[in-house]
Amino acid sequence: MAIDTPVAETERLEAIDLLRGVAVLGILLVNMQWFAMPNAAAVNPYALGTPSPTDLRVWFAIELFAESKFITVFSLLFGAGVVLMTGRLESRGVSPARVHYRRMAWLLVFGLIHAYVLWHGDILVLYAVCGMLIYPLRRLSVRALVALGVVALVVGTLSSVAGQLSWPSWSDEAKGEWLAYWQPSSSALALETEAFKGGWLAQEPWRAGFSAEFHVQDMLFFDLWHVGGLMLLGMALLKSNVLTGRRSRSQYARQAVIGLVSGLPLVAWGLYQYQALNWRLPDSLFVIPLWNYWGSILVALGYIGLLLTVWQAGVIRRVTSRFASVGRTAFSCYILETLICTTIFYGHGLGLFGTVDRLQQLLLTIGIWIVLLTLAPVWLRRFRYGPLEWLWRSLTYGHRVPMRRAK
């Protein structure tokens, strides 16, 4: 093997591929809301008016079991991936810094294209920036990584608390902007809906505006701390063999029980607080989401424990192998989710934006899962990588990486 080449298939960890596959599919449960309806409706089920009982139940279920949980798993795995890749390069005698930063630079390019050309809910830009920032910390001990990860998460918490405490001193104009975001007027909802039901050019000002706001404001003050902290924890979990599938089944089962039993009640309490406080601001923007912020980390660890318990048992190997195939093509599957959903909901496709209720969105999500779980294994029988994984690797290593499998 050339020293300046991607990881070989024999070096892959199936447990991590499985977790990544479940994560990228689970993320779609949350993202589907952002594809299908005005932005405010994804965070506030009352943004479009009083929801039906079914719509409200679906929103609560997604918040309880999916919102922030699968992106947490994915962020932990991304941090773990930095340690894995750089360690393997070092074992071949390659200085990993050049490869890593080229890899993150190209991920940033892909993310910017995704955000400003296809869909404003992109996460790749944030991952690329966090990946660049955490790289120098990869050699720290498990204890130091956990400590720094928790500190970063606390800083994100303090940012939200600061927003809550400073609210009384905000100008009426600033408060009005947040109120308009949380509960848009009928005219604002109509304009957003009309834009996304229109062609690509009609969508672009909204897409670019949403993306720029995230990159300039939200990412700097909150998301870098949140996702960066999770990536540091992922590094620690990799070094502790939590993510590799190498711990005992009883340890993973115990992790599943502890994570879910402790995390889900925290998230549920936050959901109760929304209702108890009648979805009022600023609580619903800053303080109440913190129950999910921390609870989701525990739930994500519970999901990891549960999945690896099942994987080690080997009772549904045909099913878990399909999820692992999605995990091996996660980049391609993530972008394919965008292409499918924007075609369904935006005006350059079927133009169903704002017309599909939450239960129908859930059914569409399951349908897309079936498509990806079918396509990924078929693709990998003929090719070594997903199409975007291949392109990313080729650009990172500066030469065309072999794509087809030997017959």
Q: What is the pLDDT of residues 324-363, one digit of tens each?
A: 999 999 999 999 999 999 999 999 999 999 999 999 999 9
Confidence band, pLDDT 50/70/90 cuts, at residue 217: confident
* Contact (CB, 8 A) for 228 and 134: yes
- What residue ranges do the domains of the chain occupy? 9-397
What's the pLDDT at 351?
Answer: 97
The predicted model gives 40-65 an average pLDDT of 96
Confidence band, pLDDT 50/70/90 cuts, at residue 2: very low
What's the pLDDT at 3?
Answer: 44
What's the pLDDT at 278?
Answer: 94
**CA nearest to 20, candidates 300, 382, 239:** 300
Identity at 261, one-letter amino acid code: V
What beta strand segments (E) does 45-137 contain?
A: none
CA dist 365 and 36 (Å) reads: 11
Q: What is the pLDDT of residues 71-116, one digit of tens each?
A: 999 999 999 999 999 998 888 888 899 999 999 999 999 999 999 9
Stated pTM of the model: 0.95
Return contacts of 92-95, CB within 8 angstroms, 24+ apart: 92/1, 92/3, 93/3, 94/3, 94/4
Pair of tokens at residue 41? 């409706």
What's the pLDDT at 348?
Answer: 95
What's the pLDDT at 406?
Answer: 74
